[in-house]
Structure formats: C-alpha cells, structure tokens
Amino acid sequence: MEGKDIGKGSGYKLKDLEGLEEGHTLMIGGKEIEVMGTISAEDYTSGRCFHSAVMVSTKTSSDYAPSKPFTNPVKDGSNESGVPRDIQNCKPRHDPNAPNSIVMPRPSKYHQQMFNKSDHPVVDVVVDPYLAVHLRPHQKEGILFLYECVMGMRVSGQFGAILADEMGLGKTLQCISLIWTLLRQGPYGGRPVMKRSLIVTPGSLVKNWRKEFQKWLGTERMRVFAVDQDHKVEEFIASPLYSVLIISYEMLLRSLEPLQSLSFDLIICDEGHRLKNSSIKTTSALSGLSCSRRIILSGTPVQNDLQEFFALIDFVNPGILGSLSTYRKIYEEPIIRSREPSANKEEKQLGDERASELGSLTGLFVLRRTQEVINKFLPPKIESIVFCKPTIFQLDLYKRLLSSRFVRCCLQGSGDGSPHLVCIGALKKLCNHPCLLYKTIQEKGTSVGGEEQSFYKSLAELFPCDYSRNTVSEAESGKLQVLSKLLSTIREHSPSERVVLVSNYTQTLNILQDLCQQQGYRCTRLDGQTPVTHRQQIVDGFNSKYSEDFIFLLSSKAGGVGLNLIGACHLILYDIDWNPANDIQAMARVWRDGQLRTVHIYRLLTTGTLEEKIYQRQISKQGLSGAVVDLAKKSEHIRFSVDELRDLFTLHEDSDCVTHDLLECDCTQTRRLPGNPSSAIAVGG
C-alpha cells in the first residue's frame, strides 16, 4: 500500500502472466507472491489504488450507519428520547430564512452518527448578519469551505484546510467570520464548536490581525489577546475574557511550554508556507499542540518543490497522503520525471495522471482563488513595463565588466564556488546605479578573499580616479533619470496622489531617499530595520488623508503580505526579482480592497541588460504548482547552464527593447515617457 518495491523478477513469459487470477502464486525477487485482486489500469495510472484506504470522503459515505451506543431513554433532565430539556427547543442563533443569510451546510447522517452521540437536535449554523453584509461572494464560498473542512465534513477523520487565495482577497476576514461563528454556534443543539483558538502569524502582522478583529467585530463582541513584549502568554492563560490568542512564530517558540498546557480548538497559521519544512522547530512545535483543526493561509503553498507542498498538507491533515517516501514514489517522482525534456510518452502520461489525481485529492481541502475574482470590485489598474536606456557611463562599465577575466571564467565553467552569482549581483547593482557597484568594490575588495577579491579589485579600475561614493548623481543611471521625470510628472499632474516606491535592496532605497530629499519630496520609509512595533503605525499614517508624505519607500523583503498601502494609487517597482511572486506581492499592495482610485503600476527595467533577461524568465517559466493546484509560479532555483549564462551576460546595445523585439510585435508606434524622449519606452502591461 505504500507503493514500495519489495522485489523485482524477470524471465516470465507474457502468456504466463496474462492467466494470473486471484489466489494464484508466483516467485518474484526470491519471495512467494499471492495475487489478492486486480487493480484497474485507471486506478494504477492515477495512483488512486495507493491511497484509497487512507482517504474517504464523508460525502460518499452518507449511507454508512455505524451502530449507536446504548442510551437510557428515561433519565433525569431528559424527555422520552433522551434529549436534555434545555436544548429540546433550541433555535438557530440567527434567522436562516432572512434575506442574504449565510447558512452553513447541515451535517450528513454519517457525520451525525459519528459526532452526535447524544442525539442533540441538528440546528442551522448561520453567519452573524453583522458580518455577512460585508462579505463578497468568494468570501462566502471560502467560509463555507473552511467550515466543512474544520468540521470534518469533507474528508473522513480529517479537520484541516489550506486557504491559498491570492493577496487581497480577504483571507483574514474569512477566518474572523469562521472563528466568530464557531465560538457562538454549532450544528448539534446549537452548542459552540470552539472555546479557544490560536492564530500564529509573522511578527509584523500581529497588530494587523488584532486591528482586523476590532474593525469587523468591535471590542464589545469579543476580545482578542495579542502577545508582544508587554503582553505575555501567561496573562492570556490567567484571564477568562479572551477566546483568541494571536502570537508571532518567534514568540511561539519562546512561549511553547505554557502554550502546551492549553487546549486549542482551532489553529490558524498565517503565511503558512513557513511550515514547508516538517523538520524545523516551528513546524514541530505547532504539530505538538493538541489541536486537530488546523488552517494554513498562504498565497504560495507551492514555492520550490512538491516536497514542501507535502509538508503543508501533512501539517493540516496528518497522514492523509501517507508517508513522505510513499508520496515521493507515487506522486513526486513521476510528476517531475514527466517534465524532463527526455521523458517519453508513457512517462508524460503517467506524470499528468498522477498530477491530476494529486490535484483532485488535495482539492478537497485546498481552496485557491486568484485576483480575477475580486477585480470587478476594484478600480481599474494600468500596468506599464518601462524600459529605460542605460547611460553612456553605465554602458561603458557594463561592457568592461562583461569582458573581465572573472566573467570569462564563468562562461568557461571554471572558478570556485558560484562566481556567476557574484557577476549577476554586480550587474544588477550597475543597472540600479553605478555607485552601488562602486560601494561594493570598496567594501569587498578588501574584506573577501580568493577569486572574488581579485574580481572586485579589477572592477575598481573601471571607475574614474575622482569617483566619489558619497554623492549620488542622477545623470549616471538611466533608471534614476526616468524615475525622477516620472515622479515630477505625477506631482505636476496629480498633486493630491501619492506613490509607493519599492526596491529589493536597502542600499538602493538609500539612493531613492536621497533623490526624494534633493527634489524636495516628503517621504516615509519601511524596511527590514524598521521595528515591528512601528510598522503598522507608519502604514496607518501614510494611508491617512491628512498625511503630507508624497512617497512611501518600501523594501519588498519587509512588512509581510498584510501591508495595505491604499493611500497611494501609484506604485513604482525600481528593480526586479528572480521570483515573480515577490514582485507580484509588492505590486498588489496598492491595488486591493479599499482602493478608490485608478491604480498605476510601473516596473522599471534597464534595456538590453540582465534585467530584461530576468523579466523574460519570469514571464516564460511555469512552475510545478500549476500542475497540482492553480497557484503562483514557482520560485526559481538560480542554476544556469553555460548557454544560459552566455545569454545572461550579453548586452544588447542596438535595441530600444529586446523583449519587444522577441515578441515580434508589428506595431509601428512606441509610447515614450514625458521628458527626455530618448530615456525610456513604456510598454503597456
């Protein structure tokens, strides 16, 4: 049943094997084998035969009726049927027949026989109308899905779910609605399903979760306890006032001992792709808590490989896919093999069948909706890819860097460690601004050793003798020139509108902050150095209509997914990341619920350089995730063949836009940004 090979044999003729029937025996690999039954080709190809004993949907088991335990029909406090008098005439907490009411599915007969041993009357569970009026159709669907999962209505004996909605679809509100419903109601006698729930989240989102509870429920309906430096878990344990505990992953590990003394009825893990490794302390700590109802919230549950996906599935529904070795044998290996260029027709077919079966199997407790479901509720979004011509100084440095001995070693496959990553890093810094590369040369030319040190020392010769690292010149960077013109134009034509300016690097943010100061733009900043306790305050201040800040400088690596920057309607992505999910997440911060104005997104790329190659790689590569669930594109492993490196380390000087040329577009017009007509070309997204 685990799909493990326990022996292999050869030498049998096909006609001898065709006659095998149930009860027949034969020798394979030194073992005597008895045929117990026939597996259909369809069941084997899909892999269904290997997990049929593990997984049974209760929806297909409604006819199964286990024997009921003996109950005394005449006892104190009960009527003739044995139902306690205090719940004989119980009614739903809210009217299920009211207009636009959201009524949870009633449990099946099988579910009642399993979980309603005392024969309590079945009562409709209805989402509080106070919340229901704010819910959009996809959010109502999500709450129904989560309810069925945590109640064990979708998979027999399993109570976990993964809500994999993309950013901005309201995963937080859906969870708050579920928690509030289960804390006050239940299908059997109206008794609440839960008494206490735990929400684990990145440290930067603890306050955001508390704020969301207050926003949707107020402080008079329920109180939540958020753990921070001043509020400890022990206070939550000692107080009967709180039903929900919000804690960061880091604080969870510090407070594990007191938490283990509590019993939770539901655990929600925000940014749950952190649990993609089952051997890390956080996953082990959460798995050790006594709670079978578990929900993971993650916009990217499949990031790198299918083993990480298994870890998430096994956390919410332990054992549902068998052991890791079984999973690898039945699903991962055939799926990966089918996507190799050398795969034959049979391997491709088997991989497709196994991927399809894995998708339908996990689809019972994984729900994924993309941005499209909410687009109709949001204002228009205009996305532009802006290809910026490098300056003559940048071009000269770029060509001299590509002709350096270190880069030639990369292309020849020689050099220690990962020299190509060093070269790629140098090129990316040069695309942003030459001074970034110069600073790296000054710092690493003396601090590192070996080939890398000699590389940086050789680059120092590329810069003029009087070059200064302390002054940032706008004229040295094509992208910085375009950015300056773009900000000036936005300020001139829409003085009341604000801009979010995003970069992957802190040093680049420093340059952008210098530009803002030179131009007289008021700005605020949030990066990895910003204290977690101040982040929400900074965001709220910028979103306020009274804010005087024109620009919000944001590191794409800081802040978590929950950052909502709807105070701005322009977002400029200054540089590009190998992982498209990071860029998509950053760009979604202004185009989300609560935004009232048309949103403009600008992605700046340096024409003909490495940045265009990264962008092309983003839009052309499709990850494994699409084969299993409709998820975001997988993160790229930075591994390159020599041919790929040769392509990356190629400069295209004679093109306004290499990507446009590759598309073989027959358009006769290009839209140039206001200002210097030779500085950039804007291509609509």
- Calpha distance 351→354 (Å, rounded): 5
Taking residue 539's Cβ as centre, other Cβ atoms within 10 Å add up to: 24
User: Hunting for tokens 């094997």 — which residue is that?
Assistant: 17
pLDDT at 30: 81
Tokens of 473: 């010149």
Residues in the chain: 685
Task: Choose the weakest-confidence range: 173-182, 328-337, 442-451, 509-518.
Answer: 442-451
Exposure class string for 64-91: b at 16+ Cβ within 10 A, else e: eeeeeeeeeeeeeebeeeebbeeeeebe
pLDDT of 623 over the 80 cut: no
Q: For residue 131, report the phi and psi dihedrals to the nearest 5 degrees.
A: -90, -35
- CA angle 642–644–603, rounded 5-degree value: 150
Query: Average pLDDT of 548-556?
Result: 91
Helix extents (H) in 222-274? 233-238, 249-254, 256-260
Are 574 and 512 in contact by the 8 Å Cβ rule? The answer is yes
pLDDT of 59 over the 80 cut: no
Percent of the chain with pLDDT over 90: 36
pLDDT of 622 over the 80 cut: no
Give the containing element (helix H, strand E) for 25: strand 25-28
- Calpha distance 204→536 (Å, rounded): 8
- Calpha distance 552→571 (Å, rounded): 9
In CATH, the number for domain 379-386+476-684 is 3.40.50.300
Give the containing element (helix H, strand E) for 384: strand 381-388
pLDDT of 245 over the 50 cut: yes
Counting Cα atoms < 13 Å in the Cβ hemisphere of 130 gives 12
Query: Average pLDDT of 572-586?
Result: 80
Strands annotated E in 265-355: 266-269, 294-297
pLDDT at 415: 46
- Calpha distance 526→552 (Å, rounded): 8
Query: Average pLDDT of 308-314?
Result: 89
pLDDT at 448: 54
Could you say which architecture CATH assigns to the domain 87-318?
3-Layer(aba) Sandwich (3.40)
Q: Same topology for domains 87-318 and 379-386+476-684, yes or no?
A: yes
Where does the pLDDT of residue 674 fall: very low under 50, low under 70, confident under 90, or very high at 90 and above? very low
Task: Choose the weakest-confidence range: 388-402, 460-474, 482-496, 505-519.
Answer: 460-474
The terminus-to-terminus CA distance of the chain in angstroms comes to 50
- Calpha distance 317→51 (Å, rounded): 14
pLDDT at 194: 95
Tens digit of pLDDT for each residue in 164-221? 988 778 899 999 999 999 999 999 999 999 999 999 998 888 988 999 999 999 888 8
pLDDT at 66: 40
pLDDT of 80 over the 60 cut: no
Sort 449 into a burial class: Cβ within 10 Å, 0-12 / 13-18 / 19+.
exposed
pLDDT of 147 over the 80 cut: yes
- Calpha distance 264→244 (Å, rounded): 9
Task: Choose the weakest-confidence range: 65-69, 355-359, 397-401, 667-671.
Answer: 65-69
Radius of gyration (C-alpha) of the chain in whole angstroms:
30
Distances, alpha carbon 155 to alpha carbons 212, 253, 308, 324, 356, in Å = 30, 31, 22, 20, 18
- The residue ranking higher by pLDDT, 133 or 666, is 133
Give the containing element (helix H, strand E) for 405: helix 405-411
Residues 6+ positions from 213 with CB-CB distance below 8 Å: 176, 222, 224, 244
Where does the pLDDT of residue 635 fall: very low under 50, low under 70, confident under 90, or very high at 90 and above? very low
Residues 6+ positions from 538 with CB-CB distance below 8 Å: 524, 526, 530
Residue type, 522: R
Task: Choose the weakest-confidence range: 211-215, 487-491, 511-515, 536-540.
Answer: 536-540
- Calpha distance 141→135 (Å, rounded): 10
pLDDT at 551: 95
Are 285 and 253 in contact by the 8 Å Cβ rule? The answer is yes
Cα dihedral 104→110→112→118 (10° resolution): -170
- Calpha distance 627→106 (Å, rounded): 33
Tokens of 118: 């005392």
Strands annotated E in 230-355: 242-248, 266-269, 294-297
What residue segments make up the domains of the chain, in order of their start? Answer: 87-318, 379-386+476-684, 392-460
DSSP assignment string, 122-138: B---B--HHHHTT--HH
Tens digit of pLDDT for each residue in 23-33? 788 888 788 88
Are 205 and 560 in contact by the 8 Å Cβ rule? The answer is yes
Where does the pLDDT of residue 89 fall: very low under 50, low under 70, confident under 90, or very high at 90 and above? low
Are 151 and 107 in contact by the 8 Å Cβ rule? The answer is yes
- Calpha distance 196→266 (Å, rounded): 7
Where does the pLDDT of residue 404 fall: very low under 50, low under 70, confident under 90, or very high at 90 and above? confident
Please give the DSSP secondary-structure letter assigned to residue 103.
Answer: B
Percent of the chain with pLDDT over 70: 78
Taking residue 522's Cβ as centre, other Cβ atoms within 10 Å add up to: 12
Are 301 and 312 in contact by the 8 Å Cβ rule? The answer is yes
- The residue ranking higher by pLDDT, 300 or 40, is 40
Distances, alpha carbon 610 to alpha carbons 120, 401, 430, 616, in Å = 67, 13, 10, 10
Give the containing element (helix H, strand E) for 654: none
Q: For residue 571, report the phi and psi dihedrals to the nearest 5 degrees.
A: -135, 130
| Average model confidence (pLDDT) across the chain | 80
Distances, alpha carbon 615 to alpha carbons 291, 452, 481, in Å = 43, 27, 21
- CA angle 381–382–388, rounded 5-degree value: 145
Query: Average pLDDT of 23-44?
Result: 81
Helix 450-460 crosses helix 419-432 at what angle (to 10 degrees)? 30
Task: Choose the weakest-confidence range: 229-243, 595-609, 631-645, 649-663.
Answer: 631-645
Tens digit of pLDDT for each residue in 502-530? 998 889 999 999 999 999 999 999 988 88
pLDDT of 302 over the 70 cut: no
- Calpha distance 44→37 (Å, rounded): 13
pLDDT at 216: 94
Tokens of 562: 């929950």
